[in-house]
């Protein structure tokens, strides 16, 4: 065997080890068994509008214009743009709430208090932002409305973000804040959107396993549940997801083994680990959980698979989906009618849970 032949053989071996190692890193259970419509008792499509409202159309146009700007940006430029865009979304808005800074066991946070709420009732809210952006201030449209819906004090936490911190640090902050919150309120709820929805569902299983007092209910808005990005809607809805498509569409073009290695090297954890992909967790004995999602967004199947798997395991999980809406459209409350409608559904869910458990 010549030196050239030997070198080529070694290179081929390295490529094969790299390729199949990447496939192993992303390997998990077969989730396609959960690719079916949810049971009628679990919810379904909410479509009371004759097409999207003009107000939603205006919000979508603004998001689409922002998406055009990110084309050609470097990763660092996109990070800075995303953070600034989220800051700008809430700038200038007024809220009929009190916002009180607090140290939640070492985690920076703020209390969000709607007028007249019962302070013995509490919500842990975990904001979205792809794990790289956002803070309690960017999500006050959501946390102020959640305070009203739950008649509770909302603890909105400022968990550590990537890339300055490993993803595990943000998860640790969520756990710390929950331990700090749970004594001694009369009611506890938990919620989050997008990345925050992921973290709230991760916490749900952790709370059960740690035998801590569990939330009375969880609300997850357009949550990421599968960090292997295996759901059909990740690619099928790329053209219709005005918000996530421009930011993360490039990920769909990266070969799966390479993406797995990138994820592992950045996070030191496999994509299918339940710590980052709650849909791969054991989902029995969880609290009542409502997921809301748009049927046009890339994360539609993340939500549907989670609900179907949780219900198969005996947990009371529910899915409400809307056709043609933005990712986390609930943040456009109160201007967008579909956002008001979604929050009315959250109100109904929380009241039903309380009636059934009182």
62 included as an active-site residue: no
DSSP summary character for residue 325: P
194 included as an active-site residue: yes
Q: Active site residue: 297, 315, 338, 341, which one? A: 297
Q: Active site residue: 144, 194, 315, 321, which one? A: 194
321 included as an active-site residue: no
Q: How far apart are CA 260 and CA 277, in angstroms?
A: 13
Which residue shows structure tokens 């916490």?
Answer: 203
> Encoding tokens for residue 349?
């869910």
Q: How far apart are CA 185 and CA 188, in angstroms?
A: 7
CA 202, 136, 250, 73 dihedral sign is negative
Q: Is 136 exposed, middle or buried (0-12, 13-18, 19+ CB in 10 A)?
A: buried
Q: How far apart are CA 294 and CA 301, in angstroms?
A: 10
3-state secondary structure of 126: strand
Q: Active site residue: 60, 327, 338, 341, which one? A: 327
Please name the helix (run of DSSP H) or strand (run of DSSP E) that holds residue 234, with its range, or none.
helix 232-236
Nearest to 215 by CA among 230, 200, 196: 200
Neighbours of 352 (CB within 10 A): 14
Q: How far apart are CA 320 and CA 290, in angstroms?
A: 8
Phi, psi of 157, deg, nearest 5: -100, 150
DSSP summary character for residue 297: S
Residues taking part in catalysis? 194, 297, 327
């Amino acid at each position: 065997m010549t030196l050239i032949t030997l070198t080529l053989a070694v290179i081929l071996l390295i490529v094969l080890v790299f390729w199949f190692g990447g496939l192993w890193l992303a390997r998990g259970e077969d989730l396609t068994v959960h690719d079916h419509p949810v049971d009628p008792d679990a919810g379904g499509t909410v479509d009371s509008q004759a097409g999207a409202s003009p107000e939603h159309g205006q919000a979508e146009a603004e998001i689409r214009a922002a998406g055009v700007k990110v084309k050609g940006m470097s990763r660092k430029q996109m990070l800075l743009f995303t953070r600034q865009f989220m800051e700008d979304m809430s700038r200038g808005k007024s809220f009929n709430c009190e916002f009180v800074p607090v140290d939640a066991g070492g985690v920076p946070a703020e209390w969000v208090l709607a007028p007249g709420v019962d302070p013995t009732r509490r919500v842990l809210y975990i904001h979205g932002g792809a794990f790289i952006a956002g803070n309690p201030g960017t999500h006050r449209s959501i946390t102020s409305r959640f305070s009203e819906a739950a008649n509770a004090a909302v603890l909105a936490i400022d968990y550590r973000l990537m890339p300055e911190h490993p993803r595990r640090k943000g998860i640790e902050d969520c756990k710390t804040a929950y331990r700090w919150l749970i004594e001694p309120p009369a009611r506890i709820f938990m919620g989050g959107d997008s990345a925050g929805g992921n973290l709230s569902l991760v916490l749900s299983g952790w709370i059960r396993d740690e035998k801590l007092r569990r939330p009375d209910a969880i609300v997850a808005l357009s949550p990421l549940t599968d960090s292997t990005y295996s759901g059909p809607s990740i690619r099928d809805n790329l053209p219709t997801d005005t918000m996530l498509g421009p930011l993360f569409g490039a990920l769909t073009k990266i070969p799966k083994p390479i993406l797995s290695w990138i994820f592992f090297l950045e996070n030191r954890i496999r994509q299918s680990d339940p710590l980052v992909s709650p849909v791969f967790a054991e989902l029995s004995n969880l609290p009542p959980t409502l997921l809301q999602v748009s049927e046009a967004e890339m994360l539609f199947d993340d939500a549907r698979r989670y609900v179907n798997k949780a219900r198969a395991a005996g947990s009371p999980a529910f899915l409400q989906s809307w056709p043609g809406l933005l990712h986390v459209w609930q943040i456009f409350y109160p201007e967008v009618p579909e956002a008001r409608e979604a929050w009315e559904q959250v109100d109904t869910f929380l009241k039903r849970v309380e009636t059934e458990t009182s």
